Chain A
Amino acid sequence: GQSLEQPSEVTAVEGAIVQINCTYQTSGFYGLSWYQQHDGGAPTFLSYNALDGLEETGRFSSFLSRSDSYGYLLLQELQMKDSASYFCALNSGGYQKVTFGIGTKLQVIP
């Protein structure tokens, strides 16, 4: 089966940088995605890594190391609106099922 681990909570200061780590176990790996979910809202796609290395999208970057079964999401120049839950998600298996982690609740403080 698939499993993912990520920290349950992170607190960071407005304007700072925060890194949210994710480790996973799976067979038939296709890629690792990141989603953001504000309280009461639906998850929205942020980033995807299929190959090793860093992908940058504005203030957000995501990194993948397939040999270490590890990835992270990097958020720079934190803003109050970045307070949300962040999920890493595995795209894996013959049918490319997408499995989510439990999520990391990020609180940005002034």
Chain B
Amino acid sequence: DTGVSQDPRHKITKRGQNVTFRCDPISEHNRLYWYRQTLGQGPEFLTYFQNEAQLEKSRLLSDRFSAERPKGSFSTLEIQRTEQGDSAMYLCASRQGEDEKLFFGSGTQLSVL
């Protein structure tokens, strides 16, 4: 499979716990995006990497959220001290250079109890 893959597909956690999600983009894609989506809404931009550099992070994003992309390959998104409001689908997408197409993974569905 040469698409964008995300792991895990589902995560259930208790409030206050830390969670980490992984995204493996399409191998030649240098741009990687994280989005959050709740029911009936569009994907909300969280952060963006070009290669290993994190170029932009949403101002709406709490300090509890952090993302990395070591060596410009896979990326991780960590949420510390989860809250019920963090429950959402977390989507990763990648694109190559100036190509306009974003390719999305299937997402990680987070439920915070």
- Residues on A facing B (Cβ under 8 Å): 31, 33, 35, 41-45, 48, 50, 87, 89, 91, 93, 95-103, 105
Contacts and interface: CB of A to CB of B under 8 A. Distances in A.
A44 B4 CA distance: 12
Contacts of A42: 91, 104-107
B65 interface: no
A43 B103 CA distance: 8
Contact of A50 (B41, B45, B100): B100
Interface in B55-84: 55-56
B43 to A, nearest CB: 5
Nearest to B100: A48
B103 A45 contact: yes
B56 A43 contact: no
A97 to B, nearest CB: 6
What does DSSP make chain B's interface, helix, strand, loop or mixed? strand
Contact of A102 (B41, B101, B105): B41
B41 A98 contact: no
Nearest to A31: B100
Contacts of A91: 100
Contacts of A35: 102
B7 to A, nearest CB: 14
Contacts of B35: 100
A97 B42 contact: no
A73 B42 CA distance: 16
Contacts of B31: 96
A95 B40 CA distance: 27
A50 B99 CA distance: 12
A44 B41 contact: no
A45 B102 contact: yes
